[in-house]
């Protein structure tokens, strides 16, 4: 049996799982941003007609899975494995969203790296024949996250400039074997990186070193350079984290600025939408990938994209106990061609 | 490329990943129970010399990984992928435990099914060559779980007879390619099953239907019967859930009683230890598998074991919002011989 392991942290998808379909569901604030044309469904009702924000977040995962399935023309019974997780305690958005589907389910917790983590694992499942079709999914919701991680919304707490705005949205990708792309070509699995940042209102700074470590490993393990991609995109570093990541590479004498962007700075108009350092949350990377990026690939405007999900693995309790913020970044190489 | 998918929910490990080593770390109450001789390390200090129960739970995962590594004679750098999760919000026990290891990490949330979920995924990684050595790990802690899910311990809330006692413990399994077993031979991935149970003090009843569904799928998918195992063991159904599971099979005209047991009823002396319906928590199945069962396999007293991790996917918030308790069960077939 051959090995698919590469270097320190990477794997090769030698069977190149294909993206059969993807979906992006978003909320009101995301609709008001520059990427509104790329979402499959948007609602101006923050509760998506449900009784609570948590039930709303569950609902948007249901919508994401249904929409992706409809686009691919497949039934729930055809999905052999679904990998999903979210930010809510005990990941209830995911578990409750899929409880009536009968789809074999692996629950994940990767904080905001979950879109990339689930893609890595779903890619592995399809690449090796554990699943004929596998799904990768995640979500976040501004209001459910805010009251769980920070303050009741009514409190009206002031936010520092480094704070980010949790995206209300869900993305789902269906993978299978197909002649047409885009394809998953490789992935780099993240390690937990902790530079000692303790400010839960500056998660970009906490996550940027994790992104740096994973990107370095990706280039080293697979003998690639930033120039091998037309877009390297992190999930939700925001303005602060984006600057730090570019600076970390600059110290190595590597410029990534020409091909690098961050979903958290792409999803909102940072000048006009009062989101401070940008978007965050599992849904941020998910809807930018599943909505905007994959559509650009379908149009041929992007050929090879390195999608890097970034997650801050803190909890309110770990912060209360004086802990720093360990972070992780998983990277998935997606191409319109196999390579 | 061949498929490893079998039937509706199962996969075959055709390369038969071997268990290189396992470890079981436990607390005071577990030490007082009938399996105390099978743990690698026990502490009568509920805080394991840490400043909080949460830090203690993190510490026992560190101990579990270190102990398993030492037994296998390998370094952190040799582990290509680690799959772990726990019950604490945002799975902080796992993320914090491995932050200094540099091991590529997939965070999971499968509630108390995590030992089986992590074994499934680590097995897939080794079987297909994504990882040369992979680790599966989980933990729970009575005191950290109690104050997160229920009441402050000082409150002294009364517990109904169906309530279970969260095990303080952590288990870790290292998988690799080796001639000597025990081996992972197959796995059945759970679907989310919800029979409408809403009583968070009766999780055995909520989880038993999930165990039933996964076991039925396992036997159907792989054309096996209960007689193909000398032990079928669920993670933490406790007395109530155990009776319900046996009853569900009885209705099908199938008797599993001869080979069936539940880790939650094995780990404590239910007569003397005042644990009501038995043990629960991710650590329950983990320490019984990694401590007792794998030692029995090493001695040749057990040949083929079906380990079924059972998880209740609720959160305190979902209960407060009137939701029922969706549950899941993942099953891993472990044998001293390949089959």
Asked if B165 and B25 sit in the same domain, the reply is yes
C-alpha A229/C-alpha A249 separation (Å) is 16
> At which of A176, A194, A209 does a domain end?
A176
The mean pLDDT value for B125-139 works out to 98
For residue B319, being part of any structural domain is answered with yes
| Residue B173: pLDDT over 80 | yes
Asked if A119 and A193 sit in the same domain, the reply is no
Residues 37-96 of B with CB under 8 A from A: 51-52, 54-55, 80-81, 85, 87-92, 95-96
Asked if A222 and A301 sit in the same domain, the reply is yes
CB contact under 8 A, B103 and A316: no
Asked if B191 and B167 sit in the same domain, the reply is no
> At which of A176, A205, A225 does a domain end?
A176
For residue B200, being part of any structural domain is answered with yes
Q: Look up the domain containing A199 and give its range.
A: 183-335
Asked if A61 and A142 sit in the same domain, the reply is yes
Element (H or E) spanning A31, and its range?
A: helix A28-31
Asked if B22 and B169 sit in the same domain, the reply is yes
For residue A143, being part of any structural domain is answered with yes
| pLDDT tens-digit map of B191-202 | 999 999 999 999
C-alpha A76/C-alpha A226 separation (Å) is 38
Residues 87-146 of A with CB under 8 A from B: 87-92, 95-96, 98-99, 101-111, 117, 120-121, 124-125, 127-132
CB contact under 8 A, A89 and B317: yes
| pLDDT tens-digit map of B85-117 | 999 999 999 999 999 999 999 999 999 999 999
Asked if A172 and A187 sit in the same domain, the reply is no
pLDDT value of residue A157: 83
Its pTM stands at 0.98
The mean pLDDT value for A184-197 works out to 97
Model confidence band, residue A155 (pLDDT cutoffs 50, 70, 90) = confident
| Residue A1: pLDDT over 60 | no
For residue B4, being part of any structural domain is answered with no
Model confidence band, residue A36 (pLDDT cutoffs 50, 70, 90) = very high
Beta strands, E only, A43-80: none
For residue B284, being part of any structural domain is answered with yes
Picking from B9, B102, B326, the nearest residue to A104 by CB comes out as: B9
- Count the domains in chain B: 2
Asked if B210 and B146 sit in the same domain, the reply is no
| Contact list, B148 vs chain A (CB under 8 Å) | 317
Percentage of chain B modeled with pLDDT above 70: 99
pLDDT value of residue A153: 86
Which CATH number is A219's domain given? 3.40.47.40
By the 8 A CB rule, do A38 and A292 touch? yes
For residue B216, being part of any structural domain is answered with yes
| pLDDT tens-digit map of B73-84 | 999 999 999 999
| pLDDT tens-digit map of A75-124 | 999 999 999 999 999 999 999 999 999 999 999 999 999 999 999 999 99
pLDDT value of residue A152: 87
Model confidence band, residue A151 (pLDDT cutoffs 50, 70, 90) = confident
Least confident of A310-324, B142-156, B232-246: B142-156
Asked if B138 and B193 sit in the same domain, the reply is no
């Amino acid at each position: 049996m051959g090995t698919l392991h590469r270097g320190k942290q990477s794997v090769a998808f030698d069977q190149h799982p294909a993206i059969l379909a993807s979906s992006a569901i978003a909320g009101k604030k995301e609709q008001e941003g520059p990427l509104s044309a790329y979402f499959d469904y948007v609602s101006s009702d923050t509760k998506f007609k449900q009784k609570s924000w948590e039930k709303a977040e569950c609902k948007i995962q249901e919508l994401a899975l249904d929409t992706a399935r409809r686009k691919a023309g497949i039934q729930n019974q055809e999905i052999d494995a679904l990998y999903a997780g979210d930010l809510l305690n005990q990941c209830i958005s995911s578990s409750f969203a899929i409880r009536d589907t009968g789809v074999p389910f692996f629950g994940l917790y990767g904080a905001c790296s979950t879109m990339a983590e689930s893609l890595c694992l779903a890619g592995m499942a399809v690449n090796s024949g554990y699943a004929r079709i596998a799904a990768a999914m995640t979500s976040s919701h501004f209001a459910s996250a805010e009251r769980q991680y920070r303050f009741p919304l009514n409190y009206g707490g002031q936010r520092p400039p480094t704070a980010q705005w949790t995206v209300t949205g869900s993305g789902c990708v269906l993978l299978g074997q197909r002649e047409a792309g885009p394809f998953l070509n490789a992935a780099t699995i993240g390690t937990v990186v902790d530079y000692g940042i303790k400010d839960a209102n500056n998660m970009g700074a906490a996550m940027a070193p994790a992104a740096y470590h994973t990107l370095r490993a990706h280039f080293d393990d697979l003998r690639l350079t930033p120039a091998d991609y037309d877009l390297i995109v992190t999930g939700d570093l925001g303005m602060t984290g984006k600057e730090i990541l570019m600076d970390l590479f600059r110290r190595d004498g590597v410029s990534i600025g020409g091909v690098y962007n961050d979903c958290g700075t792409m999803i909102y108009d940072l000048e006009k939408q009062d989101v401070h350092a940008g978007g965050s949350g599992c849904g941020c990377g998910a809807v930018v990938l599943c909505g905007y990026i994959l559509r650009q690939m379908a149009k041929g405007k992007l050929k090879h994209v390195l999608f890097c999900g970034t997650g801050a693995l803190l909890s309110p309790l770990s912060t209360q106990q004086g802990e720093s913020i360990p972070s992780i970044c998983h990277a998935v190489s997606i191409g319109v061609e196999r390579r």
